[in-house]
Amino acid sequence: MSTTPGIDVSRWQGEINWNAVAAAGYRFAVVRATIGNYYTDPRFYENWNGARGAGVLVSAYHVVAPDRPADSQIDRFFDVLGARKSDLPLVLDIELSHDISPADITACIKDCAHKVEQRDGRKPIIYTAGWFWNNQVLESPEWSAYDLWVANYGVSAPSLPTGWSEWKIWQYSDKGQVPGIAAATDLNWFAGSHDDLLAYANVEPEPEDEPQPDAGLRARVVASRVNVRSGPGANYSDIGDLYRGAVVNVVSLDGKDVWVEFEPGKWAALTFHGTRYMELE
Which residues are tagged catalytic?
8, 93, 95
Longest CA span, the chain: 98
Residues 6+ apart with CB under 8 A from 59: 28, 29, 30, 31, 86, 87, 88, 89, 90, 91, 125
Helix, strand or coil for residue 196? helix
DSSP E strands in 73-134: the ranges are 91-93, 125-128
Helix, strand or coil for residue 98? coil
Q: How many CB atoms lie within 10 A of CB 171?
A: 23
CA distance 72 to 189: 32
Nearest to 88 by CA among 45, 50, 54, 120: 120
Using only C-alpha atoms, the chain has a radius of gyration, in whole angstroms, of 30
Residues 6+ apart with CB under 8 A from 143: 126, 163, 164
Q: How many CB atoms lie within 10 A of CB 235?
A: 8
State the angle between helix axes of 102-120 and 70-81 in degrees (0 to 180), rounded to the nearest 10: 40
Helix, strand or coil for residue 113? helix
